[in-house]
Amino acid sequence: MSTDIEILWPADRVPITVLLDDPLPGRNPLWYENPAAGHAREIPNAFVERFADVIDRTGAAGKFSVIPCPGATGCLDSGVLDVPNSVIGEFLDIVRTRIAPRWDISPEMLTHNRALDLTTMRPLDEREDVWAAHQTEETLYPYIARALRILRDVRLEPNGVTSPWAFAKEVEADYQRAMSRALHDVCGVDVGWYFLDADGQSAAAAPRVVLLDASRGRSLVSLISGNQSDFLWRTQMGEEAPLDAMLTADRSSGRFAELFASGQAFAFHTHWQSLFSNGSEAGLHAFEELCGRINGWGDRIRWTPARELALYATARDATQIDVADGTIRFSAPFACPEFTISVPHPDAASTLTAGGTELRKLAPDQPLEEGAWHSDGDRALVCLGLLDGLTLNWESG
Q: What is the pLDDT of residues 114-143, one digit of tens each?
A: 999 999 999 999 999 999 999 999 999 999
Task: Convert 114-130 to b/e letters by CB count within 10 Å (16 or more is b).
Answer: bbbeeeeeebeeebbbe
Q: Do strands 208-213 and 218-225 pair parallel, antiparallel, or not at all (unpaired)?
A: antiparallel
C-beta atoms surrounding 190 within 10 Å: 18
For the segment 329-349, the average pLDDT, to the nearest whole number, is 92
Residue 65: the pLDDT is 98
Say yes or no to pLDDT of 369 above 90: yes
pLDDT over 70 (residue 2): no
- Residue 98 confidence (pLDDT) above 80: yes
Residue 391 has pLDDT above 70, yes or no: yes
pLDDT tens, position by position, 58-79: 999 999 999 999 999 999 999 9
- Which is more confident, 364 or 276? 276
**How many angstroms separate the CA atoms of 191 and 209, rounded?**
10
- pLDDT-derived band at 232, boundaries 50, 70, 90: very high
Do β-strands 160-162 and 336-344 pair in parallel, antiparallel, or remain unpaired? unpaired
How much is the average pLDDT of 146-156?
Answer: 98
In residues, how long is the chain?
Answer: 397
Among 13-27, 110-124, 345-359, where is mean pLDDT lowest?
345-359
Q: What is the pLDDT of residues 20-41, one digit of tens each?
A: 999 999 999 999 988 888 899 9
Share of the chain above pLDDT 90, in %: 92
pLDDT > 60? residue 1: no
Give the confidence band of 378 by pLDDT, cuts at 50, 70, 90.
confident
- Give the mean model confidence (pLDDT) for residues 247-269: 98
Query: Do 393 and 330 meet the contact criterion of CB atoms below 8 Å apart?
Result: no
Residues 231, 251: Cα–Cα separation, whole Å: 17
Looking at residue 397, its pLDDT comes to: 63
* pLDDT computed for residue 3 by the predictor: 66
For residue 37, what pLDDT is reported?
86
Instruction: Give the predicted TM-score (pTM) of the model.
Output: 0.96
| 34-48, 86-100, 344-358: least confident range | 344-358
Report residue 212's pLDDT band, with 50, 70 and 90 as the boundaries.
very high
Mean pLDDT across the chain? 96
pLDDT value of position 86: 98
Q: Report the pLDDT averaged over residues 136-157.
A: 98
Please give the domain boundaries of the chain with CATH numbers for all domains: 14-312 (3.20.20.370), 319-396 (2.60.40.1180)
Q: What is the mean pLDDT of residues 162-190?
A: 98
pLDDT at residue 345 in the model: 86
What is the average pLDDT across 200-205? 97
- Could you tell me which of 90, 92, 68 has the C-alpha nearest to residue 80? 68
At residue 46, the pLDDT reads 98
